[in-house]
Each structure stands twice: as C-alpha cells, then as structure tokens.
C-alpha cells in the first residue's frame, strides 16, 4: 500500500482558485483525494473545479468567505453533502497589506488578523468538529517563513503567520485525542500572481535570491507536494510540526 496515496480522502482547500491553493488542490487530487475548492468567487471556483474534473479529479467548488464564520461552517457542511466525510483541510487563504509599522492602519491590521488567523482558526474548528466524530483527520496550515523572521514593511503579516504557527501547535495538542493531526508549512517567496510584481523587479529578485541559500524562487508545486505528504499516512506520526520550505532562508 502506498502511504502517500490519498484515495478515499475528502479534502477542502481554502483560497483554492489561484497560486498555492490551486496547486494544493491539484496535487491532492492527483494523489487520489476528492477535492473541494473553497472560494469567494464562485465563477472562478467553478472554472477551476471543471479544469480538475477534466483532468480526472473529483472536484467541486464551494462558496466560502473566510471573513464570515457562518460562511465557513456552511462551506464545511456543503463539502460533506457534495463529496462525503471531510478528512483533510488546507488553510491556504490569506493576504498581506505591506506598510511600515508606523503607518499601519487599524483596518489593515484587523483585515490581516481576521483572514490569516481568525479565519484559519474557525475553519479548523468547523472541520475538526466533523473529523472528531469519526476519530481521524489532517489539517494543514499554509504559514510562512515570515512567521520565523522579520520582513521589512511586513510586521503585521509576520505576526499573523507566527500566530498561525503557534496555533498549529496548540490545536495539534488539543485535538490529538481525536486523532486529528495539525501541521503547517512555511514557504519562502513563491512565484504566484501576488508576487509577480516583486519578482519581475530585477533588484528585488536578486535581493531575495541573495537571502536564499538554494538561490531559487519557489514554485507553487514546491509547497503543494509537502502538503500532500502531511495529508497522507506517510506523516501519520507528525502533528504540531511546521515544515520550512524556504530554500534555507531561516537557517542562515
């Protein structure tokens, strides 16, 4: 039996219509899981779900506003109605609003914590309530190397990702009794639509590469593949861990 296979698993990926979320949904599906794409934009979600189905993956889109606890709970219930018992949650939805610490506005502060931390917590809660009744589950949080190091102009984002990493440990300990594993991954800069502008600037790109011992920018697939590992039985004894996918940035 292949311990990395996910046949029979039902996975929900938040923020799944682009970048890392899209790559995670695809990788989980290719490993055998049925996949629900949590999204605010249902048209984009429907298009992505159709693309996955065209590739032979059982996929659906579900409306999911991570700023609304009601929407989160409804989405989790919809996944179980559409696909079956939820067994894997990937908390990918998140964003950053860069600003010098002295210029951060309260609205931006609240928005980042509401999405990156509060949304991930209550999505985990909603999923864990379902998983606990069946005595199994895997939750994977998409954190960041920013949870371990300071990034200039990203103080609030760094704080939210540090909170997510510690939340991972807290939930792992509390939910171990239900055999729900909670882990995280912490990527460096990944080539996505949201980082495209930065990476197209040669000076910025070179500055980033100088901080990464492997001297390369990550691709979404570099994050998705460890997520599949954490979702699988190959990681059956892992909980409360955060895997750094940073090319060595935080080791320097």
As annotated, the active-site residues are 157
CA dist 165 and 148 (Å) reads 9
Q: Is 187 helix (H, G, I), strand (E, B) or coil?
A: strand
Residue 12's DSSP bridge partners are 36, 89
CB 249 within 8 A of CB 212: yes
Can you state the angle between helices 69-82 and 120-134, rounded to 10 degrees?
40
In angstroms, rounded to a whole number, what is the distance separating the alpha carbons of residues 223 and 143? 11
Please report how the helices 155-175 and 106-113 are oriented relative to each other, as an axis angle in degrees rounded to 10.
Answer: 30
With CA atoms as reference, report the closest residue to 172 among 87, 238, 104.
238
Measured distance between the N- and C-terminal CA atoms of the chain, rounded to whole angstroms: 39
DSSP string, 125-156: HHHHHHHHHHT-EEEEEE--GGGTS--TT-HH
Could you tell me how far CA 76 lies from the centroid of its own chain? 16
Report d(CA 237, CA 151) in Å as an integer.
Answer: 32
């Amino acid at each position: 039996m292949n311990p990395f296979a996910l046949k029979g698993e039902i996975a929900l990926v938040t923020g799944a219509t682009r970048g890392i979320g899209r790559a995670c949904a695809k990788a989980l599906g290719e490993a055998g899981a049925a996949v629900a794409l949590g999204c605010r934009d249902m048209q984009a979600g429907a298009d992505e779900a159709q693309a996955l189905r065209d590739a032979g993956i059982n996929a659906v889109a579900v409306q999911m506003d991570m700023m609304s606890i009601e929407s989160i709970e409804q989405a989790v219930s919809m996944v179980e109605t559409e696909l079956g018992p939820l067994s894997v949650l990937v908390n990918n939805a998140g964003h950053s609003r860069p600003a010098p610490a002295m210029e951060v506005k309260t609205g931006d502060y609240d928005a980042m914590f509401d999405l990156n931390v509060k949304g991930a917590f209550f999505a985990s809660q909603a999923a864990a309530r379902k998983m606990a009744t069946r005595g199994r589950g895997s939750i994977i949080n998409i954190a960041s190397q920013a949870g371990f190091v300071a990034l200039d102009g990203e103080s609030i984002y760094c704080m939210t990702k540090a909170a997510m990493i510690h939340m991972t440990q807290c939930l792992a300990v509390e939910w171990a009794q239900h055999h729900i594993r909670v882990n995280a991954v912490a990527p460096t800069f990944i080539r996505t639509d949201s980082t495209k502008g930065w990476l197209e600037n040669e000076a910025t790109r070179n500055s980033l590469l100088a901080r990464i011992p492997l001297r390369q920018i990550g691709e979404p697939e570099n994050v998705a593949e460890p997520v599949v590992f954490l979702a699988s039985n190959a990681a059956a004894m892992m909980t409360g861990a955060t895997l750094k996918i940073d090319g060595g940035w935080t080791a320097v």
